[in-house]
Amino acid sequence: MATEDIIGAIIKEDIVDKTLVWLKKISEVPGVSGFEHRVKDLLLEKINNHVTVSYDKLGSIIFEKEGQQPGPKIMLASHMDEIGFMVKNISKEGFIKFVTLGGWWEQVMLGQKVTLLSTKGDIPGVIGSKPPHVLTPEDRKKVVQKREMYIDVGASSEEEAKVNFGIRPGDAIVPYSEFTVMANEKLLMAKAWDNRIGCAIMAEVMDQLALEKHSNTVYGVGTVQEEVGLRGATTSAGAVNPDLSFAIDTCIAGDTPGISEDQASSKLGKGVAICIYDASMIPHIKLRDFVIEIANENQIPYQLQFTEGGGTDAGRIHVHAKGVPSLVLSIPTRYIHSHHSIIHRDDYQSAIELLMAILKKLDATTYNKLVN
């Protein structure tokens, strides 16, 4: 979609689609692991003054909303960071060598646009690639390794890159992709759905709680550095000390060519995905069944999902202190860990509906039944 088409999808008959405005903002803001401050600022802007705000010492942000009655402390964890890169060094010719932040597959990297966050502002660049004209038949079959790649920011020398552009080793480099409403307007393409869609859901739930009665204390947490080792989950769990937790994240959509249902069972548009297993956690079974029962009672679309490789913040939170019953709620997403990924808007809505239904029902009595 062209820019004017995106604006047309957001504004119809002079009515602004606030959800699309919010999703565009939260997906496009740069925030690779360790550099999540701009995402944090957006969450502060979105979540109004009905919450108490605090932080852990790694940079995770914690929004606390007390209920009308004492009850369990419930943590909603959504990591703010996206995968990206960091400047390693600058060649004499002005090209940028980099290290990866998070899991990247080489075949989705070459020729892609990036934004380098320098001391003098945001600098556009591209991951360089050789034209096929100069490649031998054998070279065309080879995968270019990450260590061989570089970024071209238009600098003619190392000095120009450093002095004029303000680039230095340690600067963040962010994938570039514009938020796009697809021809099927329920499908939304952007960078960083992993895990800005989780942040968007958490923020919307915290906003809606201001208008609802609930017998618990809810902590909406934007965690840092999930993509490089679930680090903010560890420190923020120590700050919150929750009784229960829900990690809100993405999962692999298994509805594209080349991915079998045995590899990934969830599909776009079929509802929020309730994780039955991942490599970092087996969910608390009573909590899992409680959530499924709520979804059925409220006729909220959901699907059961597994992830045999990888994990989420819940992998660290559930083993905090004496243990925290935890569950992962995910949004099926195509092409995660690349510059462009796709979600379905209905899945976003079903996740919000399910979390709101859970929080309205989770009081002290229900919590005690779950853990005893």
Active site positions, annotated: 226
Q: How far is CA 214 from CA 282, 360, 364, in A?
A: 28, 5, 11
Q: Give the type of residue at 239.
A: A
Residue pair 358/333 in contact (Cβ under 8 Å)? The answer is: no
- Whole-angstrom CA distances from 252 to 45, 158, 177, 267, 345 are 30, 40, 19, 8, 16
The reply to whether 243 sits in an annotated binding site is no
Collapsing DSSP to helix, strand or coil, 306 comes out as: strand
Sign of CA dihedral 266, 272, 274, 280: positive
Rg from Cα positions in the chain: 21
Q: What angle do CA 261, 112, 38 make, to 5 degrees?
A: 90
Between the alpha carbon of residue 42 and those of residues 45, 48, 197, 268, 352, the distances in Å are 5, 11, 13, 27, 19
Q: In angstroms, rounded to a whole number, what is the distance separating the alpha carbons of residues 81 and 101?
A: 10
The answer to whether 347 is a known ligand-binding residue is no
Coil, strand or helix: which one is 42?
Answer: helix
List, as residue ranges, the binding site: 79, 194, 227, 249, 337
Annotation: binding site for Zn(2+) = 79, 194, 227, 249, 337
